[in-house]
Structure 1
Amino acid sequence: MQKPMLKKRDLYLNRMIAFQDTEMIKVITGIRRCGKSSLMKLMAQHLRENGIGQDQILEMNFESMSFPDMDVRGFYEYVKARVLPERRMYLFFDEVQRISGWENAVNSFRVDFDCDIYITGSNAYLLSSELSTYLSGRYVEIKVLPLSFKEFLDFHGYTVTEKKSPTGALKRRITDQDGDIYDERELFNEYARFGGMPMLADVGLEIDRVTAALDGVYSAAVVNDILEREKRKGRRTITDPVLLRKIIMFLADNIGNNVSATSIGNTLVNEGLLEEKGRRKPAVHTIQSYIEALLEAYIFYEIKRFDIKGREYLRTLGKYYIVDMGLRNYLLGYRDGDSGHILENIVYFELLRQGYDVAIGKIDNQEVDFIATKADAKKYIQVTENMNAPETRERELAPLRKIRDNYEKLVIALECDLMQTQDGIRIQSVLDFLLK
């Protein structure tokens, strides 16, 4: 059976290429099944296409039965036996955290051999203090997310083209491989419903197949990267799979809402979600440990608040967003509603893909959905479902008007009849934001 052709993910591949042949160890992180292994294969393919011999490339996937029960000494000896004298080696280690003490081996490769090293991991524990101690200042993290809307279209066989109309405006058209034209809003609805896990391009967007595929993602991320990892580390913090699932369900149902460990515990008890015999309300520090495990497994991302006038981060309630909308719908059911928070979730991760650090903005008693910053840019962003009603327009524009600096201010809307600038604030459709 022929293997499916690798789809390009230039956003991440170019980041890897930028650090090729530097001393830095390239650490590719992200939730299970988001495409890290394929990205490693794309990098190895890039090397071969640019004159690197196959015998200089060593690829090891530690989820494969090719390396059963390998310990750190066996790992080192296996690599050592394949290093070519007087030649630079390119070492690719997939899910390397499955080897206990792997940090020692990887650091030894760096010291002992002329090599360029790439590793993946599905848990932030990979970048814990232990790794930092061994590789202090010598690694760069490349954070991989599920597909953007643009990538989703590409993976599912659609082509986006733009051309200027006689008036000079850009017109966008989306076609399939047969040249048939598709409505971009309908395709966006599919993306918001089924999410951007790359394997869906192989199984198709039929709901039973999507559900089965996402069940595999959930099991791998929760069982392998939280419950099993805790056992391997010898910790006994995350011991209750029922409580873990309840917290996952709560966070998935409350994306974009203010959440704390205390509010989660109270809600689980008050709504009878922990009514099994003999159960008591879990301690706040227990719930916090479970949340941290979900963040480490890249299932949820936490966003902090920033006081715009006071120029400081606040210790008040943060918010959580789920890494993939398909995963949320798998957990909660494919239902209508809550489209405002779904839109926020999609925009938040698109900003991360674009390289921004993102916070919630607070100005007086009002909130700005996102402050997006990177070295050379800052944006203040409101996200809304509809900007047509006058009262909605005023609500979304009011906090942005209060900000007195000269950085870009933007409202991203799903529905808006007039995409224009008001008081220096630009209004943009979410489809333009995602596809331009």
Structure 2
Amino acid sequence: MTEFRDRGDEIHMQPLSFKEYVDAVQPDNLSLALNEYMLHGGMPVTLSYETAEEKEEYLKHLFSMTYHKDVEERNKIRNEFNLSTLTTVMASTVGSLTNPNKIANTFNTELKSNIGKDTIAQYLNYLEEAFVLRKVNRFDIKGRKHIGATYKYYFADPGLRNARRDFLHRDDGHIMENILYNELILRGYSVQVGVVNIFTNDKTGKTVRTRLETDFIAAKGSRIYYIQSAYSLDTPEKQDQETRSLKNIDDSFKKIVVVRESGPVRRDENGITYIGLEEFLLDEKSLDL
């Protein structure tokens, strides 16, 4: 450490992006390839296996025998069950607002475990250091300040997340959101969850605050993008729900909704850009289309 201090660089290797996956596999059907990527992810060795069973067995083994063993041994964790259970809980709540206190309450009420919030926070840090999880903070867009009460976690690879759920609970909407987050990080953006507070009067005239969420604020230098992940916009009500936060952001930075369905890029009367997930992931300049 003393001999090489300030003389080396850390290179953080990511799992394969969807574009890298496509370049390697050369699939005939991009939609089916995206379904496969959403299920088994981009850990490179998965490409060497032919069947889904082989890929899933590899990913489960990789998680338990490499990631978990590394975290347990390096940090001298004695209660392996709590670490394993915490990882499964996090896989079940990808993209959901949480914090160590809420997770500890889940352990106490549902699992009858007395693990404390400080231990949960420590375990989460260990999983971040092992590049399993990534923590995302929240930012009040209008107030221009961070919100520290709750935050989100995403997995470094969707295949690893699904391995912790035994590939039984897909939750494609949150997996899509996870993939978008990973793609933005891969492109070098700083990413936060956006919060928009709007104030209206109820029937009694009392002012009521409603807190709306924008999935991601992606920033690089002077460029800022507001991005919403929407698996489907199959009804007017769903479209209004997914775009409401974007419509209430009153600055001029670009607003984007990424949908699962492939199709041409379009813009609505509010200046919001809509782009399919395939198109977004395969074009490195998709934020500026």
**Given the two structures, how large is their TM-score scaled by the length of structure 1?**
0.59
**What stretches of structure 2 of length at least 5 have no aligned partner?**
198-210, 284-289
Q: Which residue of 2 aligns with 1:214?
A: 59
One-letter amino acid of the structure 2 residue matched with residue 373 of structure 1: A
1:207, 1:354 → 2: CA distance?
29
Deviation string, structure 1 residues 160-207 (Cα, Å, up to 9, x no partner)? xxxxxxxxxxxxxxx5xxxxxx22111100000111000112223x12
Q: Which residue of 1 aligns with 2:98?
A: 259
1:387, 1:147 → 2: CA distance?
28
1:309, 1:141 → 2: CA distance?
36
Q: Which residue of 1 aligns with 2:219?
A: 373
1:14-413 matches, within 5 Å, as 103-105=1-3, 107=4, 134-135=5-6, 140-156=9-25, 158=26, 175=27, 182-204=28-50, 206-218=51-63, 219-224=65-70, 226-231=71-76, 238-272=77-111, 274=112, 280-364=113-197, 365-413=211-259
Matched-pair contact (CA < 8 Å) for 2:263–2:276: no
**What stretches of structure 1 of length at least 5 have no aligned partner?**
1-102, 108-133, 159-174, 176-181, 232-237, 275-279
Deviation string, structure 1 residues 23-60 (Cα, Å, up to 9, x no partner)? xxxxxxxxxxxxxxxxxxxxxxxxxxxxxxxxxxxxxx
Larger Cα Rg: Structure 1 or Structure 2? 1
Q: 1:305 to 1:152 in 2, by over 3 A?
A: same
- Three-state SS of the structure 1 residue aligned to 2:231 is strand
2:275, 2:245 → 1: CA distance?
17
1:355, 1:329 → 2: CA distance?
25
Deviation string, structure 1 residues 124-173 (Cα, Å, up to 9, x no partner)? xxxxxxxxxx42xx6544332111111112222x0xxxxxxxxxxxxxxx
2:214, 2:226 → 1: CA distance?
7
Matched-pair contact (CA < 8 Å) for 2:262–2:277: no
Identical counterparts, % of pairs? 32
One-letter amino acid of the structure 2 residue matched with residue 285 of structure 1: D
Matched-pair contact (CA < 8 Å) for 1:359–1:370: yes
| Cα displacement (A) at 1:377 | 1.5
- Three-state SS of the structure 2 residue aligned to 1:104 is coil
Matched-pair contact (CA < 8 Å) for 1:155–1:198: no
Deviates more, 1:309-318 or 1:211-220: 211-220
| Cα displacement (A) at 1:336 | 5.0
One-letter amino acid of the structure 2 residue matched with residue 194 of structure 1: H
| Cα displacement (A) at 1:337 | 4.5
1:241, 1:371 → 2: CA distance?
36
One-letter amino acid of the structure 1 residue matched with residue 74 of structure 2: R
1:141, 1:362 → 2: CA distance?
33
Matched-pair contact (CA < 8 Å) for 2:134–2:156: yes
Q: 1:301 to 1:398 in 2, by over 3 A?
A: same
1:434 alignment partner, one of 258, 272, 281: 281
**Given the two structures, how large is their TM-score scaled by the length of structure 2?**
0.87
- Three-state SS of the structure 2 residue aligned to 1:415 is coil
1:196, 1:418 → 2: CA distance?
26
One-letter amino acid of the structure 2 residue matched with residue 434 of structure 1: L
| Cα displacement (A) at 1:418 | 7.3
- Three-state SS of the structure 1 residue aligned to 2:97 is coil
| Cα displacement (A) at 1:342 | 0.8
RMSD (Å) for aligned C-alpha atoms: 1.7
Q: Which residue of 2 aligns with 1:131?
A: none
Matched-pair contact (CA < 8 Å) for 1:388–1:415: no
| Cα displacement (A) at 1:270 | 2.3
Q: 1:284 to 1:222 in 2, by over 3 A?
A: same
One-letter amino acid of the structure 2 residue matched with residue 149 of structure 1: F
Matched-pair contact (CA < 8 Å) for 1:388–1:417: no
2:163, 2:109 → 1: CA distance?
24
Q: How many matched pairs?
A: 268
Q: 1:207 to 1:337 in 2, by over 3 A?
A: closer
One-letter amino acid of the structure 1 residue matched with residue 227 of structure 2: I
1:271, 1:283 → 2: CA distance?
14
- Three-state SS of the structure 2 residue aligned to 1:349 is helix
More relative contact order in 1 or in 2 (CA 8 Å, sep 6+)? 2
| Cα displacement (A) at 1:339 | 1.4
Deviation string, structure 1 residues 283-308 (Cα, Å, up to 9, x no partner)? 11111111110111110000000010
